[in-house]
A = this chain, B = another copy of it.
Amino acid sequence: MTTIREARREDAGLILELVRGLAEYERAPDAVQVTEAELLRDGFPEAGGQRYFETILAEEEGGEASGFALFHPVYSTWRGRAMHLEDLFVRPQFRGRGIGRALLEKVAAIAVERECVILFWHVLDWNTPAIEFYKTLGAEPLEEWRRMRVRDEALRALAGKAPSEAK
């Protein structure tokens, strides 16, 4: 029997472990540079701090974590409040039991509770099993859109050019 619960501060190390598990599956095992301290700061802020994300955990009897979902609000200027699912992952040995679906359903329920009209996420275009699974849940791939990114040195260079009267 799987239960799903909100993550707590003491789960930050476990969340990092699950994030790394997902990155391995996504063929990017070395991409995870985030630290436990950053996950703690940004997911479980002190009073007054900004919360960047929320996490739910799937747990098996005995308390072992079998999967997680990590999400945060986004905004659609066409439709209004929306939720973005950043990570959804079930550990390989726990697959095929409906845990991924239960996590996704729970995130959908939280989104609806908060008056969000859309739930978004990203999927790798070669991950056909995931895409097909998501379609059975009523999801649509937005084929026309590409995600762009500017980061690190390039982001700082761009920032450095901002007009000073605009700062």
Contact = CB atoms under 8 A, between A and B. Distances in A.
Nearest to A70: B77
B150 A124 contact: no
A119 B151 contact: yes
A47 interface: no
If over half of A's interface residues share one DSSP class (helix, strand or loop), that class is named, otherwise mixed; here it is mixed
Interface in A64-123: 70, 72-81, 84, 86-87, 102, 104-106, 108-109, 111-113, 116-123
A146 B118 contact: no
B159 A147 contact: no
Q: How many copies are assembled?
A: 2
A42 B115 CA distance: 11
Interface of A: 3-5, 19, 22-23, 28, 31-34, 38-39, 42, 50, 52-53, 56, 70, 72-81, 84, 86-87, 102, 104-106, 108-109, 111-113, 116-126, 131, 134, 137-163, 165-167
Given A4-B166, A134-B148, 17 more contacts: A3-B165, A34-B77, A52-B75, A72-B75, A79-B151, A102-B162, A109-B159, A117-B151, A117-B152, A119-B158, A121-B148, A124-B144, A124-B145, A125-B145, A131-B148, A140-B149, A141-B146
Closest 9 CB pairs of A and B: A138-B154, A4-B166, A109-B162, A108-B158, A108-B159, A105-B162, A118-B151, A112-B159, A109-B159
